[in-house]
Structure 1
Amino acid sequence: MSIDGPSAASPTSPPAPVRPGRRVAAGAALLAALAALAVVVVRLLDAPLLLAAGVLMVVVAVLAGWSALIHRGARRWLGIAIAAVAVVALVVVLDPRSLVRIAVVIGLLAVAIATARYSLGDQAADPPSMRRRVGPATHGVLLMNPRSGGGKVGRFHLEEEARRRGITPIVLHPGDDLRALAEHAVAGGADVLGMAGGDGSQALVADVARRHDVALVCVPAGTRNHFALDLGLDRDDVTAALDAFGDAVERRIDLATVDDRVFVNNASLGVYATVVQSDAYRDAKLATAAGMLPDLLGPDATGFDLRFTGPDGTRETTADLVLVSNNVYRLERLSGLGTRDRLDAGVLGVVTLRVDRTGDVRALLAAEAGGQLSRYRGFRQWTAREFVIDSGEASVAVGVDGEALRLEPPLRFASLPAALRVRTPSTARTAASRPAGPAAATSALLQVLLGRPSEHGPADAHRSSIVPEPSMDTGETRDAPGRGPGG
């Protein structure tokens, strides 16, 4: 069979211009942080040890404060706690009797953090022209998988909460056909479809929504909820996602397909896809993976028959991991949780990883530990509109949004640009407004100050060190493709 080469890296729509207010806020954040440092340096210049401690406390307070802005849940509270401890220590170093100086430093730190919040929090992953305010759903329907996410539907009382808001709840039962239920809801007049479940279920309902051009509401009631993360939802506040049935923000995002099966996150082949085929994986992930990896990557491993064309036109006959994603992920290491800056760039993200059986495992582990996968020689990443994988095998193991499948080759992947209308609460913040860490936040502020597009956007996909963790929702019922609540 012939192999179709990947299309050239696809151009994306130009990013929205940086608004003057954001540039002013970014400059104020950076200047306030530097001014706080200057006050400390002037006060402690004649005490080198105290000066070093004071400078360290200012840096820690600012970075911890910025970290609190770009994370949610436990990591946000940890950032707040660290910032508070740093401020208290700074007061001690400066001398508690220097009230005016202390007030000035604390005020400058507050300005640095608050203006950074405005500058970064106002950054959207898609141009304003792609978003619009919408009113409440006329006939909203919420499909719910009660087994997903360890029973989040029941734990958060989603059925009762939906009724209270005037949303029609539909609870899935064993043997129910999720696609058929979604189609029936649309036929009954639903103008907004919601899905409370894992990413496999989100993909299936998203497919129904895009076919009928109705809006989708994602309710993060799965285990990992990668799709919800990239939509800017607070995955710890499941009920808040229902606000999208009211006054909300609507935008169009991309979907992707493999052999006409829609996915919202990613599809993986090779090592990961083979491991998740095991019946034991969902109950004992680490133990199952540890038991299987030596046979899959060890010196006696036969490798995977995965044939494709690389970004330079080279025909490849194998890879240990191939990951095709709906838009491009950014991530520092294999074991981390990746995010996507854009869901509307109209491209597939393609990542391949190859391990030389004679010695690359150690190099891969070192790159993983250092968060520098892009420097590992067996790592490649590019973007394409379409991508094809062939194989001499009768079927190929594929993990699609966490669902373990076997599909007949060749596998044809494609991006569906702007295929889906999705509604989110007005408070949702996109992944692009949450840089990966304090260093990235500093870089992002400098980019905003200079009026440049974010460094984390799709234009930088070729140099990102990213291999997103394939989505897996352990709470889903495993049914035939297209039926039942998927992962």
Structure 2
Amino acid sequence: MTARRLAALAALALGAGGLALALVVAVGAFPRGPVALACLALAATAAWYGLLRTGAVRAGGLALGLLGVGAAVALMARDRLVEEAVAVAALAAALALARRSFAGRARLPPRAAPRRPVLFFNPKSGGGKAARFALADEARARSIEPIELHPGDDLERLVRDAVAAGADALAMAGGDGSQAIVAAVAAEHDLPYACVPAGTRNHFALDLGVDRDDVVGALDAFVDGGERRVDLAEVNGRVFVNNVSLGLYAEAVQRGGYRDAKLRTLLDTIPATIGPDGAGLDLRWRGPGGTEHRAGAAILVSNNRYRLGRAIGSGTRPRIDDGLLGVTVVGRSIGRGGEGRLPQRPWREWSAPAFDVDADHVIPAGIDGEAARLHPPLRFRIRAGVLRVRVSRRHPGASPSAAMPEGLREGARALARIAAGRDDRHGGDASPDQPPPTKERRWRSSKSK
């Protein structure tokens, strides 16, 4: 029996056992359970009320929130503490094993190694990963020319100069903002591109199926790697590989102290932006039905849809070749008539090939985590299948959520199929039979027009 089948069997057993034990505990704890839930609801309300304000009112709201959580814990910890801990541990282990069961590898078609590949690397990115892993030496050992970025360098100019000098493949070792620059030039010239996870979080690498723990191994994409085509996205002509955030987070990253104190800066931004005395967010957009709205707390526009609000795989993109933007609006939206509409979940999401946002002022934005200020209207567009991505054959080649079902029922059924040996899928969202993009779909940079 394979490790994948064993993980699926264990996930089903632990999940069923954990749920059964949780039900027994809940019945035995009645009516303390509902009272504890009420305490948690009051705690959340008080904490949110405090976060939207400043000074003593904020401190009081947060204090009441902590008291509510403490009361809920005290109610549930009076007895049967061991059973509660076992139930929580069993459910957590079931989720971890389910994640492992759904992880897979994409079968990427092999491609010939490029003759003059170039690696651009930022020595300071990711806390100095390039130096720690001796990326320059590792690149030379694979016949890849390394080019180090220095303070003040224009990365786009360096990449274009390398292409003009004959580079036939481009790789970037750095943050996602730098990845977007190199990927845009690679797509414009239809050159192979490799993402080396030498940044801090490496979100693009994760969703491409690059092993983020194997920085050096990512260079093998230009040795014996497979290839797939993925999408890029743009806002007003600027390419991004992950997402553009507008609203609360975008306001926070504009502040000078954000890099050194992210949480404190974000907490300070909440009342100033969406609090009762805040400036508000004057952003206008149209939903999938064509109705004009004004934004809630935040808008996230992504290069393909993110998996959100799920027990496993949340915050990743199942695929990056769907040819659609992902649009997520968090919080209350105001319709054309002025009425507020709170969705069933605290966010609403949909997919579209294009999305526009308008305002009467310059709009702060976070583009792949970097602060920017954009002039309205913001025109988001998807560029389907324009980027040729190479991935080492020793890496997954697919997003960790590529094969994850959408719901609990579908997940249980999929685990049962895997456990029974009736699921021969290896995961992955890349197809070896992807057709090349037509001429109309190929990348055309606004700078090259």
Whether TM exceeds 0.5 here: the answer is yes
Task: State the AA in 2 paired with 1:144.
Answer: F
Measure how far apart 1:30 and its partner are. Answer: 4.8
Which residue does 2:386 correspond to in 1?
Answer: 419
Partner of 1:366: none
CA distance in 2, matches of 1:270, 1:157: 39
- What is the TM-score of this pair, normalised by structure 2? 0.68
Distance apart, 1:340 and its partner CA: 0.4
**Which deviations, in whole Å up to 9, do the C-alpha atoms of 1:148-199 show, x marking residues without a partner?**
1111111111111111221100000111110111111112222210000000
Q: Is structure 2 residue 187 aligned with structure 1 residue 210?
A: yes
Q: Does 1:399 align with 2:369?
A: no
Cα deviation per residue 1:349-404 (whole Å; 9 max; x = unaligned)? 000012499xxxxxxxxxxxxxxx9843x5211110000001011x1101111111
Question: 1-side partners of 2:167 and 2:294: how far apart?
Answer: 47
Cα 1:265–1:186 change in 2 (3 A) is: same
1:352 aligns with 2:329: yes
One-letter code of the match for 1:414? R
Residue 445 of structure 1 pairs with residue 415 of structure 2: yes
Q: Secondary structure at the match of 1:218?
A: strand
Partner of 2:358: 390
Q: Which residue of structure 2 aligns with residue 10 of structure 1?
A: none
Coordinate RMSD, CA, aligned: 4.0
CA distance 1:144–1:390, change in 2 (3 Å):
same
1:66–1:441: 8 Å Cα contact kept in structure 2? no
Return the match for 1:234 from 178, 194, 211: 211
Where do 1:471-482 residues align within 5 Å?
none
- Structure 2 residue aligned with 1:164: 141
2:95 and 2:249 map into 1 onto residues whose CA distance is: 35
CA contact (8 A) 1:140 1:167 kept: yes
User: CA 1:183/1:69 → structure 2, altered by over 3 Å: closer, same or farther?
Assistant: farther
Q: Is the 8 A contact 1:347 1:385 kept in 2?
A: yes
Distance 1:27 1:143, change over 3 A: closer
Compared with structure 1, are the counterparts of its residues 300 and 228 closer, same or farther at alpha carbon in structure 2 (3 Å cutoff)? same
Change in 2 beyond 3 A, CA 1:446/1:315: farther
Rounded Cα–Cα distance in structure 1 between residues aligned with 2:196 and 2:427: 29
Check 1:447–1:277 CA distance in 2 against 1; reply closer, same or farther (3 A cut): farther
Matched, 1:180 2:157: yes
1:222 is paired with a residue whose SS is coil
Aligned to 2:349: 381
The answer to whether the Cα contact below 8 Å between 1:26 and 1:446 also exists between their aligned partners in 2 is no
Query: Is the CA contact (8 Å cut-off) linking 2:195 and 2:218 kept in structure 1?
Result: yes
Q: 4+ residue runs of structure 1 moved beyond 2 angstroms?
A: 25-34, 59-71, 120-124, 331-334, 354-357, 373-376, 432-457
| 2:317–2:402 contact (8 Å) kept in structure 1 | no
The CA distance in 2 between the partners of 1:392 and 1:179, in whole Å, is 31
Flag the 1:404–1:255 CA change in 2: closer, same or farther, 3 A: same
Opposite residue 146 of structure 1, the aligned amino acid is P
In the alignment, which residue of structure 1 is the partner of 2:375? Answer: 408
The residue matched to 2:110 in structure 1 has which SS? strand
Q: How many equivalent residue pairs?
A: 349
Task: Within 5 Å, give how 1:41-440 maps onto structure 2.
Answer: 64=93, 67=96, 70=99, 116=101, 120-122=102-104, 124=106, 131-332=108-309, 338-355=315-332, 375-376=344-345, 378-393=346-361, 395-429=362-396, 430-431=398-399, 432-433=401-402, 435=404
Q: CA deviation at 1:252?
A: 0.2
Contact kept in structure 2, 1:266 and 1:324, CA below 8 Å:
yes
State the secondary structure of the residue aligned to 1:428: coil
Which letter does structure 1 place at the counterpart of 2:393? S
Q: Which runs of 5+ in 2 are unaligned?
A: 17-81, 335-341, 430-446
Cα distance, 1:318 vs structure 2: 2.9
Point out where structure 1 has 5 or more consecutive residues left out of the alignment. Answer: 1-21, 38-52, 72-115, 358-372, 458-481, 483-487
User: Percent of pairs identical after alignment?
Assistant: 48
The CA distance in 1 between the partners of 2:284 and 2:394, in whole Å, is 44
Q: Secondary structure at the match of 1:175?
A: coil
TM-score by length of 1: 0.63
- In 2, the alpha carbon distance for the partners of 1:236 and 1:28 equals 22
Name the CA distance, whole Å, in 2 between partners of 1:62 and 1:295: 39
Query: Corresponding residue for 1:476?
Result: none
Q: 1:350 aligns to what SS in structure 2?
A: strand
**Which segment drifts farther, 427-436 or 160-169?**
427-436
Query: Alpha carbons of 1:31 and 1:194: their partners in 2 closer, same or farther (altered >3 Å)?
Result: closer
CA distance 1:63–1:305, shift in 2 (3 Å): closer
Q: Which amino acid aligns with 2:222?
A: F
Secondary structure of the residue aligned to 1:143 is strand
Provide the C-alpha distance between the structure 1 equivalents of 2:393 and 2:322, rounded to a whole number of angstroms.
Answer: 22
Distance 1:417 1:407, change over 3 A: same
Q: For the Cα contact (< 8 Å) 2:126–2:174, is it kept in 1?
A: yes
Q: Which has the higher contact order (CA 8 A, sep 6+)?
A: 1
**Cα shift at 1:246:** 0.7
